[in-house]
Amino acid sequence: MSRDDNSPEVPSRRLVLKGALAAGALTAVPSVAQAATEDAADGADAAGPTASYVNPLVRNRADPHIHRHTDGYYYFTATAPEYDRIILRRSRTLRGLTTADESVIWKKHTSGDMGAHIWAPEIHHIDGKWYIYFAAAPANDIWAIRIWVLENASRNPFEGTWTEKGQLKTAWETFSLDATTFTHRGTRYLAWAQHEPGMDNNTAVWLSKMANPWTLTGPQVRLTTPELDWEVIGFKVNEGPSVIQRGGRVFMSYSASATDHHYCLGLLTADADSDLMDPANWSKSPTPVFTSNDTTKQYGPGHNSFTVAEDGRTDVLVYHARQYKEIVGDPLNDPNRHTRIQKLGWNPDGTPDFGIPVADTPVPPDKKSRYTMTAFTGASNTDLYVYESEDAFTYSLLKGPAYTPPGGLLRDPSIMKHTDGSYWLVHTTNFTGNTIGFARSEDRVTWRSAGPRTLSTPGLARTWAPEWFVDRDGSVHVVVSLDTENNQVFRPHLLTATDRRLLNWSVPRPLTGLDQANYIDTFIVRFRGRYHAFAKNQTTNYVEHAVADRLDGPYRFTGTDDWAGWGRWRQGQALVRLDNGGWRIYFDGFTDRKYYFSDSLDGLRTWTPVQQLPGLSGVVHNVTVLRERV
């Protein structure tokens, strides 16, 4: 099923806008925009398909849109909190969208049009092509937001080329956004939000017929404007329309008020036999139909879309919400609007029953993740600090100092959990020399020295930044940066434990492909059968990416210079796998004395813009993070 494809009564006067909008023949092919089969949907109970959904479905993704296509996939797009790109996921199940790879299919322009505020994308399949409607503003005028369209003729929207079809022109050059399209009885329509000149509001919801997927035709009419008490809190807003059709009626949900906990859904209703372009044919709910709930701890539910469950029978409400009311500063700067889904019910009178936003899905005790961070701080080169987190974002101090070695330094500490259940640390012992240090703990709090190890490499002058790597076969390795010519030129080398007690180690051997330039702080992960090395190029001061089929190489660089958008002067990089299936990289911005992170949700290919690590930025250095199920 496709969703290709919000009130006292609307004032009866009809607002007709013609101007330069010439009438033209409609070319759109009808698409299915009805609700799931009515008799079957009425029989589906709450223990049906949606009972297994885990909420939030996708974290830190607002304004979600899910399109179920005829190829059997659900396609998901939404607003990223950095407002700088359009992302896409797909899965054969709704639940699978949580861990599906995320691709960046388009990025904002660096200047000019479409250079800021990339908001509310929707993906639709029309006349054999894919279209994405989204809002964007010029880089030099970030609130001059307008509607734009992308097109892709490939059968697979992850392939082919996304072509910019340009701005979708409306009657006025005013603030406009949140476009959605649907068909009704062979005619394609566009609904969107826009500010009308001379009106005392932010946005109203508008409707127009379409000549093609990027062009309006004929009059444009206002369906609803913010006028009720619950529509004007913080801002006077009607926006985010979405359409579902059932039982001889057309329903259009919309969002109202500011994007904090006052954000909510309203509903417009029209008879399917009526002229949808006549505002008098639409009735408006006098009260909101979906609001914040203190019992379930969900706040500001809104900007929804509709889809259908895997059974093809159960209608599903897709929306975003936060898990708290208290927001510091502008709500638009708060990144924690998460995508959520739940069953959409139907009342005996045939109107949609939105219910209340469901509570977060409890995490089973054996499914909870714990992230342990080890670091040294700017205040000490000799002490270990241990932090922990439930989300790899907000860390609290577990103990610090937690360990001081018998002699030498403690820098660049790396943590792993061994097969015997104990935690092991490896660290840099001095600015010069040929040793690395080991420590061991049963609880991450009390540590004891496991002795230094001397590396028997000729001419070894500096031994820096050792990092654990445990392979799929259980073999334990340390990747370490060695200066063998006393010229501060480093090459990554590999040590391999030759016994399970980690007492004996192989001689260091260079990682081929990474030994031709000055690379340091090399961190390796294995993903989908390949080894991915993230190494800092000491010459360019960029963190670069190389891949290999074997741990010892040869490695081939796939990302050099500023390939990921992280910028220069990053070091001490370390990666960890996240609960959502993505990856997070942490690195030290040592020139600006900040600590940053960035995420990848598409298999280490593209990365989100860097963000500071809250609470620890400017405090910790050269961290590593261990994820465990506890």
CA angle in degrees (0–180, nearest 5) for 309-310-316: 5
Q: Domain with 612 in it: what CATH number?
A: 2.115.10.20
Token code pair at residue 412: 């660049």
339 and 435 share one domain: no
Active site residue 63: yes
Token code pair at residue 338: 């998460």
Residue 322 pairs in a beta bridge with 299
Q: What is the pLDDT of residue 33?
A: 41
Does residue 471 lie in a domain region?
yes
348 and 376 share one domain: no
Return the half-sphere exposure (C-beta side, CA atoms, 13 A cut-off) of residue 167: 17
CA distance 341 to 321: 10
Last residue of a domain, one of 353, 383, 401: 353
Instruction: Considering only the C-alpha atoms of the chain, give the largest distance between any 2 of them, rounded to a whole number of Å.
Output: 89
Q: What is the pLDDT of residue 482?
A: 97
CA distance 514 to 524: 12
345 and 377 share one domain: no
Under 8 Å between Cβ of 45 and 196: no
Closest CA to 495 of 516, 515, 476, 520: 476
Closest CA to 460 of 428, 490, 503: 490
Which H or E run includes 40?
A: helix 38-43
Active site residue 239: yes
415 and 324 share one domain: no
Which H or E run includes 266?
A: strand 264-271
**Active-site entry in 102, 113, 178, 239:** 239
163 and 220 share one domain: yes
CA distance 57 to 52: 11
Q: What is the pLDDT of residue 366?
A: 66
**Active-site entry in 4, 5, 63, 412:** 63
Does residue 317 lie in a domain region?
yes
How far, in Å, are 181, 231, 240, 242, 270 from residue 223 at the CA level? 15, 14, 13, 13, 11
Token code pair at residue 478: 């340390």
- Residue 136 contacts by C-beta under 8 Å, 6 or more apart in sequence? 108, 113, 114, 115, 116, 117, 118, 119, 145, 146, 148
Tens-place pLDDT, residues 444-479: 999 999 999 999 899 999 999 999 999 988 899 999
Under 8 Å between Cβ of 495 and 426: no
311 and 433 share one domain: no
511 and 487 share one domain: yes
450 and 526 share one domain: yes
- Residue 476 contacts by C-beta under 8 Å, 6 or more apart in sequence? 416, 418, 468, 469, 470, 496, 497, 502
**pLDDT < 50 regions, the chain:** 1-33, 37-51
444 and 500 share one domain: yes
Closest CA to 570 of 614, 606, 521, 525: 521
CA distance 152 to 337: 28
Does residue 551 lie in a domain region?
yes
Does residue 129 lie in a domain region?
yes
Last residue of a domain, one of 322, 353, 384: 353
Q: What is the pLDDT of residue 368?
A: 80
- Residue 590 contacts by C-beta under 8 Å, 6 or more apart in sequence? 569, 571, 572, 621
278 and 379 share one domain: no
100 and 124 share one domain: yes
Does residue 236 lie in a domain region?
yes
CA distance 356 to 476: 50
Whole-prediction pTM: 0.66
270 and 379 share one domain: no
**Contacts made by residues 74-79, CB under 8 angstroms, sequence distance 24+:** 74/307, 75/123, 75/157, 76/100, 76/339, 77/121, 77/122, 77/123, 77/132, 78/121, 78/320, 78/339, 79/118, 79/119, 79/120, 79/121, 79/337
Does residue 30 lie in a domain region?
no
Does residue 57 lie in a domain region?
no
As for how many domains the chain has, the answer is 2
**Token pair 């070695």 in the structure block, residue:** 405
Question: Which residue range forms the structural domain that includes residue 624?
Answer: 369-629
Under 8 Å between Cβ of 544 and 534: yes
- Using DSSP's 3-state secondary structure scheme, residue 38 falls into helix
